[in-house]
Amino acid sequence: MDNKQEINSKADIRIAPMIDWTDRHCRYFLRQISPNVMLYTEMITCGALLHGDIDRHLRFNDEEHPIALQLGGSNPSDLAKCTELANQYGYDEINLNCGCPSDRVQSGAFGACLMKTPEKVLECLSAMRSATDKPVTLKCRIGVDEFDDYEFLKEFIATTAESGCDTFIIHARKAWLKGLSPKQNREIPPLRYDVVHQLKQDFPALKFLINGGIQTLPQMEEQLALTDGIMIGREAYQNPYILADIERQIYSSANILSREEIALKMIDYARGQYENYGTPVKSITRHILGLYQGQKGAKIWRRTLSEAHKVAEDHFTLIQDALDNMHSKKAQSCIAA
């Protein structure tokens, strides 16, 4: 078996949980492009589930499998209750967020600040695992604030793994809880892929997926050869058809849908979501703006769909309008040539 075949046989590629982006409409769209990647919800707090509209937060389309629910919280009992809810809805995995550095999570004493209290994380993971037979995983940074040396991270992994959690998704940057915005925390702290690679060497029985700054297929293949998998964030949202390249080149998939075939599927989806739930078309079109990224006509596609706020909520044919406008412009270009 050559190296490429080895990568294919072990490829574990996931799409990162992204607040305000990876809702169920986005996930349905991404699933049309890639049957193999694992999808994640946005981070959903325990408070939102225990005191809010559970169905609105947890409902998803059957086509989205495999799908993981990412929880934000620090109370073991609350996390266990939310894990039980995840069971009822049929999620394939439940993930604990120990990586988000926003003010919102800091005020709730969860997210990246949990890394400073590994014993608390151990309690949380143990409670979650006691409430499900599905995999419970952890997403974290390589460090937080002054807690950023390798021995701290190594001890954090060793302690939390005592829960029985064996899969860790590591954003290969540290987090600064004060002085940097969430956006800056995704860009300013340097990427340290070598730290994640070292974790894999030191904990061979555990599974480590690497996250942060991975945008191209060569980068993906390089990291898949050194870790157990990768998690892709904003590149998958802003340039979603890269998932088709992943299907073709990493998973060796056949029968990949074209961009237009995917767009037509999203028309049917938008119609169904409006008829069943009253979902306005703009809730769906905002996620598909990048479908034609880098292609001729991409600006027309985006410009047409960006008019969604001006049309009726049931105007799901707006997606067809975007296709027609692109084709019309292309035809005019050909005539002019």
For 196-221, what is each residue's pLDDT tens digit?
Answer: 999 999 999 999 999 999 999 999 99
What's CA 56's distance to the chain center, in Å? 19
SS3 207: strand
Cα 244 from Cα 256, distance rounded (Å): 7
19-77, pLDDT tens digit by residue?
A: 999 999 999 999 999 999 999 999 999 999 999 999 999 999 999 999 999 999 999 99
Other beta carbons within 10 Å of 177 = 18
The residues near 58 (Cβ < 8 Å, ≥ 6 apart) are: 44, 49, 69, 85, 86, 89, 91
207-211 and 229-232: which strand pairing?
parallel
Q: What element of type H or E holds 171?
A: strand 167-175
User: Domains in the chain, please, with CATH?
Assistant: 3-249 (3.20.20.70), 259-336 (1.20.120.1460)
The one-letter code for the residue type at 217 is L
Name the phi and psi angles at 163, rounded to 5. Answer: -70, -20
Other beta carbons within 10 Å of 6 = 12
Cα radius of gyration rounded to whole Å, the chain: 21
**Residues marked as catalytic:** 100
**pLDDT above 70 (res 333):** no
Taking all residues of the chain, what is their mean pLDDT, rounded to a whole number?
92
The one-letter code for the residue type at 266 is M
Closest CA to 141 of 119, 163, 111, 165: 111
How high is the pLDDT of residue 336? 44
Answer yes or no: pTM beyond 0.75. yes
Question: Which residue in this structure is represented by tokens 């709730």?
Answer: 108
**pLDDT above 70 (res 106):** no
